[in-house]
């Protein structure tokens, strides 16, 4: 019987996703400890949020059942990313850092963590959709790095070799795995939906990805499924005004505190950037790198608060009404989509019209849908669809990544 294994887990961020993740971690740890014939013991050894931290010099396990009150009551010093890396790198077992924040400073430190043998699982888009240099540094440092992905010499724009350039096996030899950490970030696109893993499988098995298209924002999905539902609102008469839909979405908790953070398209642009890079394109950071259509009227970009923005958005309903009417006259519906034309190295984020029978048109609620057009799949794409936002499903993607790392660690 093999010896039991111990893996340490460090969690940063205890917001919506972090809270759900900690509950899932607790259930997973309990199950894996009973895993016959080789139990795995997951121990939480570090927990922090912006102003609080919990850890100890001997890496004693923190109880998962009382994390919230323990963290509330802690008076320990908050650590910088470098200090966290220092603490974790000296731990007597392999460590997985779970970054449930959207913190740029922590993202910037990923290469450091990876080089020191710490694996990373995260829904934090900052690390993967910001500067191309950071992306390259992360993958260069990771044990499952794709050396040539997104900007190796084979991945030049428009080159026929761009899709296959990204396909590099995770080196799983003992030395490679032992010296550096693994990195997974499934939840950065489509939350828990199997999007990045599917793209990686397509590329790794030698398929040629031609185009990726989809609805990547739960908020914008909800807005347009309501603003212009299939079978309703023809001629613009059926649905309510755009500003009314935004207000409804905000009331239901589907938007960011300031809805402009959804309507400016940057979140979608970040996700599209991640997909493009994984497909082998050396895409610079959005929004400068490619066209991103903002739905925030220029006149309202500068208003002080989200509330003021919402109060005045109705003044601009005319423009969106016209968009809806024009689409309806052609028998189409409007949706806010992102797309990557891999073969022509073109990314685009904004409004498009679709036939009512198109999978993107038929979306419901706040679902995401992602379509992969590839050589092997031909005219009908491989489609993944479902909830692409929410604490539980986002945390599920993180927990799934943690399980992947546990399988690779030895």
Contacts to a second copy by CB under 8 A:
1-3, 5, 24, 27-28, 31-32, 35-38, 40, 147, 164, 167-177, 192-194, 197-198, 201-202, 204-207, 230-231, 357, 359, 362, 364-365, 367, 372, 376-387, 392-393, 396, 399-400, 403, 406-410
State which H helix or E strand residue 46 sits in: strand 40-49
Q: What is the distance between the alpha carbons of residues 332 and 112, in angstroms, rounded to a whole number?
A: 49
Q: Sign of dihedral through CA atoms 168, 172, 175, 180?
A: positive
The verdict on whether residue 265 carries a ligand-binding annotation is no
Please check whether residue 45 is in contact with residue 9, taking contact to mean a CB–CB distance below 8 angstroms.
yes
Q: Which is nearer to a second copy, 168 or 293 (CB)?
A: 168
Angle between helices 266-278 and 196-204 in degrees, nearest 10: 20
Q: Nearest approach, Cβ of 191 to a second copy (angstroms)?
A: 10
Q: Nearest approach, Cβ of 344 to a second copy (angstroms)?
A: 23
Q: Nearest approach, Cβ of 192 to a second copy (angstroms)?
A: 7
Q: Which is nearer to a second copy, 173 or 302 (CB)?
A: 173
The verdict on whether residue 125 carries a ligand-binding annotation is yes
Contacts of 370 (CB under 8 A, 6+ apart): 189, 190, 193, 195, 212, 213, 214, 216, 383, 384, 385
Task: From 79, 78, 85, 87, select the one nearest 109 (Cα to Cα).
Answer: 85
Indicate if 52 belongs to the active site.
no
Which of the residues 271, 322, 332, 404 is marked catalytic?
271
Q: Which is nearer to a second copy, 295 or 393 (CB)?
A: 393
Q: What is the distance between the alpha carbons of residues 400 and 390, in angstroms, rounded to a whole number?
A: 16
Task: From 346, 340, 345, 274, select the one nearest 130 (Cα to Cα).
Answer: 274
Q: Nearest approach, Cβ of 150 to a second copy (angstroms)?
A: 17
The verdict on whether residue 268 carries a ligand-binding annotation is no
Q: What is the distance between the alpha carbons of residues 284 and 154, in angstroms, rounded to a whole number?
A: 17
The verdict on whether residue 18 carries a ligand-binding annotation is yes
Q: Which is nearer to a second copy, 171 or 350 (CB)?
A: 171
Q: Which is nearer to a second copy, 322 or 376 (CB)?
A: 376
The verdict on whether residue 256 carries a ligand-binding annotation is yes
Between the alpha carbon of residue 142 and those of residues 108, 117, 147, 181, 184, the distances in Å are: 14, 9, 9, 6, 10
Q: What is the distance between the alpha carbons of residues 147 and 165, in angstroms, rounded to a whole number?
A: 9
| Chain centroid offset of residue 382 CA | 19
Q: Nearest approach, Cβ of 383 to a second copy (angstroms)?
A: 4
Q: Nearest approach, Cβ of 216 to a second copy (angstroms)?
A: 16
The verdict on whether residue 13 carries a ligand-binding annotation is yes
Task: Give the pair of three-digit tokens for residue 127.
Answer: 């690390």
The verdict on whether residue 188 carries a ligand-binding annotation is no
Q: Which is nearer to a second copy, 173 or 235 (CB)?
A: 173
> Residues comprising the binding site for L-homoserine?
256
Annotated binding site: 13-18, 101, 125, 256
Q: Which residues are annotated as a binding site for NADP(+)?
A: 13-18
User: Catalytic amino acids?
Assistant: 271
């Amino acid at each position: 019987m093999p010896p039991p294994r111990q893996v340490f887990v460090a969690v940063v961020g205890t917001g919506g996703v972090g809270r759900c993740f900690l509950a899932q971690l607790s259930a997973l740890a309990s199950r894996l400890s009973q895993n016959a014939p080789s139990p795995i013991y997951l121990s939480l050894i570090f927990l922090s949020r912006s102003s609080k931290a919990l850890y100890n010099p001997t890496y004693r396990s923190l109880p998962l059942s009382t994390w919230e009150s323990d963290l509330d009551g802690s008076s320990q010093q908050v650590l910088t990313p470098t200090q966290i890396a220092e603490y974790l790198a000296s731990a007597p077992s392999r460590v997985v850092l779970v970054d449930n924040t959207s913190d740029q400073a922590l993202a910037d430190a990923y290469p450091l963590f990876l080089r020191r043998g710490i694996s990373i699982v995260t829904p934090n888009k900052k690390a993967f959709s910001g500067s191309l240099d950071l992306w390259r540094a992360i993958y260069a440092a990771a044990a499952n790095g794709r050396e040539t992905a997104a900007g190796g010499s084979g991945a030049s724009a428009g080159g026929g070799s761009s899709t296959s350039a990204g396909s590099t096996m995770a080196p799983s030899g003992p030395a490679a795995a032992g010296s550096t950490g693994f990195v997974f970030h499934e939840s950065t696109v489509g939350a828990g939906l199997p999007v990045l893993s599917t793209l990686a499988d397509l590329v790794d098995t030698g398929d040629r990805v031609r185009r990726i298209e989809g609805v990547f924002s739960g908020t914008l999905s909800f807005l347009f499924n309501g603003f212009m539902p299939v079978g309703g609102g023809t001629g613009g008469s059926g649905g309510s005004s755009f500003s009314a839909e935004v207000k409804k979405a905000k009331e239901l908790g589907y938007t960011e505190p300031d809805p402009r953070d959804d309507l400016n398209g940057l979140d979608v642009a970040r996700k599209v950037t991640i997909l493009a890079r994984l497909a082998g394109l050396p895409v610079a950071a959005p929004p400068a790198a490619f066209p991103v259509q903002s739905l925030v009227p220029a006149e309202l970009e500068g208003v002080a608060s989200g509330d003021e923005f919402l109060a005045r958005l109705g003044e601009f309903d005319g423009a969106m009404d016209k968009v809806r009417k024009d689409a309806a006259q052609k028998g189409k519906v409007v949706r806010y989509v992102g797309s990557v034309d891999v073969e022509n190295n073109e990314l685009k984020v904004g409004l498009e019209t679709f036939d009512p029978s198109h999978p993107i048109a038929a979306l419901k609620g706040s679902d995401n849908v992602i379509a992969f057009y590839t050589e092997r799949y031909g005219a009908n794409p491989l489609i993944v669809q479902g909830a692409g936002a929410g604490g539980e499903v986002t945390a599920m993607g993180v927990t799934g990544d943690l399980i992947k790392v546990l399988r690779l660690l030895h």
